[in-house]
């Protein structure tokens, strides 16, 4: 699996985690595909540093705090900043 595909997987995992914070990896692997090592590393990194990433987003966004951002945008920003 290419790194591009694994980045796409990581995005899907980060996005899914916004709705269901439990067993995100297991649900994804059961219903979609096996998660690559790089995708898992990205997901775990974003998941472990969510508070820090949100602080950065809240610091630089004007009029849009993380609780107001659309979930797709929030997932993209978290992954990109990580």
**Nearest to residue 5, comparing CAs of 25, 34, 30?**
34
| Domains of the chain as residue ranges with CATH | 3-81 (1.10.940.10)
pLDDT attached to residue 4: 94
32-60 per-position pLDDT tens digit: 989 999 999 999 999 999 999 999 999 99
How far apart are alpha carbons 37 and 1 in whole angstroms?
10
What distance, in Å, lies between the first and last C-alpha atoms of the chain?
21
Structure confidence by residue, pLDDT tens digits, 14-36? 999 999 878 888 888 888 989 99
> Rg (Cα) of the chain, in Å, rounded?
13
């Amino acid at each position: 699996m290419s790194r591009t595909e694994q980045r796409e997987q990581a995005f899907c995992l980060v996005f899914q985690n916004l709705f269901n914070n439990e067993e995100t990896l297991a649900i994804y692997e059961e219903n979609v595909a096996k998660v690559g090592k790089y995708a898992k590393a990205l997901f775990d990194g974003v998941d472990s540093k969510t508070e820090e990433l949100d602080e950065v987003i809240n610091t630089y966004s004007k009029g849009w705090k993380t609780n107001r951002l659309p979930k797709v945008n929030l997932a993209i920003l978290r992954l990109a900043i990580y």
